Amino acid sequence: MSRAPARGLRGEGPGDGWHPLAERVAAQARDFLDGVGALANGQGGDEIVPLLLLEVSQILLAGAQLGASKDVIPPGNWEPDVGADPDLDLLRAGLAARLSDCDEYAELFDPYADTRPTAFRLSDDLAAIAADLIHGLRHYEAGRSLEALWWWQYSYVNHWGTHGRRVARAARDCRARPARRSRRGHPQLAGSWQ
C-alpha cells in the first residue's frame, strides 16, 4: 500500500520529503506528454484509442497518488510564475484528426443534477491534461519540486482528473463498440459482456 510522503523530514528543509513523489510524477507526466504527442503526430495508426486509454490510465494512477497524499502546501502558500500557458493547438488538432470517429462524445456534467448530456471532445480533454502537466513540469524543471507537486495535486483534484476520467470512459466505450456490435449476432454471448 502506498503511503503519503512525509513533510519536512528531520534534518531536511521543508518539503524535502516530497521529492521522491515529485520525481515519479514528473517522469509520468513526461511519459504522458511524449506518448500523446506521438499519437497526435500519427504514431499508433489504427490503435490510437487503446493506446490513449493506456496513456490516460497511467497518468490517472499518478493523479490517484497525488489525491491520496496529504495536501501539499508550497512555501509562503503562493505559486511563482511559470510563464505563459503552452500553445497546444497542434496537439489538439492532431488528436482531433486521428480521433475523427470518436473525438466527440456526450456525458452528464453533473450526474446528480443534469438531465441532458453535454458534448465534449477527447482532443480538448487531452490538451487540457497536457497543459496542467506542463505547468507542473515547469516548476519541477526550475528546481521547485514542492510547487510542482502542489500544482499537480491541486489541478488533478480540480481539473485534469475530471478530464482524465472522462477520456478513460469515452475511450473505453469507443474501444468496446465494435465488440458489442459483434456480440449482438451471437445469442450465446449476448449477456456475457456489456
Instruction: Please state which architecture CATH assigns to domain 16-184.
Output: Up-down Bundle (1.20)
Instruction: Indicate if the pLDDT at residue 75 is higher than 90.
Output: no
Instruction: Indicate if the pLDDT at residue 185 is higher than 70.
Output: no
Distance (Å, whole) CA 29 – CA 26: 5
Convert the pLDDT of each residue in 92-108 to its tens digit. Answer: 999 999 998 899 999 88
The neighbouring-strand residues paired with 105 are 120
Residue 12 confidence class, pLDDT cut points 50, 70, 90: very low
Distance (Å, whole) CA 44 – CA 87: 23
Instruction: Indicate if the pLDDT at residue 182 is higher than 50.
Output: no
Instruction: Indicate if the pLDDT at residue 85 is higher than 60.
Output: yes
pTM, to two decimals: 0.82
Per-residue pLDDT, averaged over 38-66, amounts to 95
Per-residue pLDDT, averaged over 113-131, amounts to 95
Which pLDDT score is estimated for 178? Answer: 63
Determine contact, residues 18/7, Cβ cutoff 8 Å. Answer: yes
More confident residue, 172 or 16: 172
Per-residue pLDDT, averaged over 109-130, amounts to 92
Instruction: Indicate if the pLDDT at residue 55 is higher than 60.
Output: yes
Which pLDDT score is estimated for 1? Answer: 42
Distance (Å, whole) CA 174 – CA 81: 39
> What residue segments make up the domains of the chain, in order of their start?
16-184
Residue 73 confidence class, pLDDT cut points 50, 70, 90: confident
Which pLDDT score is estimated for 106? Answer: 92
